[in-house]
Amino acid sequence: MRLRTIVVLLAVVILLGASGIAWSQTVQGVITGTVTDPTGAVVPNVTVTITNAGTNASQTTTTGSDGSYRFSLVPPGNYIVEVKAANFAAVRASGIVVEASQTVPFNVKLELAQASQVIEVTGQALLVQTATSDLATQIDRTTIENATLVDRDVFGVLPFLAPQVSPGLTMQPTSGGARIAGTAYLLNGADNNDNFSGGGINIKPPLESVEDFTVLTNSMSAQYGRGAGAVVTANQKSGSNKFHGALYEQNRNASLNAGDFFNNKLGLPKPKYIRNQYGGEIDGPIRRDKTFFSFALDRVDLR
């Protein structure tokens, strides 16, 4: 009996771990495309490598018989794409930005040349999404830093930057005619919904720890599960080969405020109110190109 119990517990742990891995895939991006020669014909068996510019982590694949390639699990970040084939000049494209839950199409046209020749390409932002039917609003780190966020809550205001999102009965985001409970929240790919409160959120990450933010507002793929309206995804920093840190403090104090009209009329003093919100974030390498860390803290003291 004791052995059976141990086996059952191990099976449960493995199942939960596997499901966690499946959830985490939903915040990954995709890089896909087709490789052709100067005549427009597809080129099979071409080596395609993508490298994260921040961590130097790389993935490699080859094109199929139809000349296409696909990287399905790409952590958000800035990438370099290298394409190499015999009898063609190598292509090296930089500045390919992948954000959470985003599919990035990148087609390559090879030129006949010596194998030692390399053609440098600078990636540009897509004007039209052609690789998927998803309607996604991507919010990068710069926008997050410059947005006016009450209590520094990324889930409170950022979803409304998507044109299809509107406030529900409790001023929480809704989309597609669904109730606030139809909006699904993901944090680093894991389910972040409070199942005991419609539209509630379990964890609100520190603002400084959030790398990017995505809002999906149409009939997205089945990997997102329960989202009947919008799917709101926040992706946190994972560290890179460079150290980065930030400290902040916000103070609200009654001594800096004007007195209330009725208190002034009655000659009453301003009520005591002291609110401090402070914290910081630090990330960087533990072992260069191999292991990284990120730590963030946000605290509110109200007196």
- Is the pLDDT at 60 greater than 90? The verdict is yes
- The pLDDT of 114-123, averaged and rounded, is 63
- Is the pLDDT at 54 greater than 50? The verdict is yes
Question: Residue 112 has which token pair?
Answer: 């006949």
Question: Residue 22 has which token pair?
Answer: 């499946």
The percentage of residues in the chain with a pLDDT greater than 90, rounded to a whole number, is 29
105 and 33 Cβ atoms separated by less than 8 Å = yes
Q: Which fold has domain 136-236?
A: Ferric Hydroxamate Uptake Protein; Chain A, domain 1 (2.170.130)
Within the chain, which residue ranges are assigned CATH 2.60.40.1120?
27-122
Within the chain, which residue ranges are assigned CATH 2.170.130.10?
136-236
pLDDT at residue 87 in the model: 86
12-52 tens-digit pLDDT? 444 444 444 434 445 688 999 999 999 999 999 999 999 99
184-209 tens-digit pLDDT? 888 888 888 887 877 788 888 998 99
pLDDT at residue 15 in the model: 43
Q: Which of 3-17, 232-246, 251-265, 274-288 has the lowest mean pLDDT?
A: 3-17
The average confidence (pLDDT) of the chain is: 82
Residues in the chain: 303
- The pLDDT of 57-83, averaged and rounded, is 92
The class of domain 27-122 in CATH terms is mainly beta
The percentage of residues in the chain with a pLDDT greater than 70, rounded to a whole number, is 83
Q: What is the DSSP string of the chain?
A: -HHHHHHHHHHHHHHHHHHHHHHHGGG-EEEEEEEE-TTS-B--S-EEEEEETTT--EEEEE--TTSEEEEEEE-SEEEEEEEE-TTB-EEEEEEEEE-TT-EEE--EE--B--TT-EEEEE----SS--S----EEEE-HHHHHHS--GGG-HHHHGGGGSTT-EE-TTS-EE-TT--GGG-EEEETTEE-EETTSTTEES----GGGEEEEEEE-SS--GGGTT-SS-EEEEEE----SS-EEEEEEEEEEGGGSPPPHHHHHHTPPPPP-EEEEEEEEEEEEEETTTEEEEEEEEEEEE-
pLDDT at residue 160 in the model: 86
Hey, what amino acid is at 5?
T
Buried b (16+ CB within 10 A) or exposed e, 192-213: bbeeeebbebeebbbbbbbbbb
- The pLDDT of 146-168, averaged and rounded, is 83
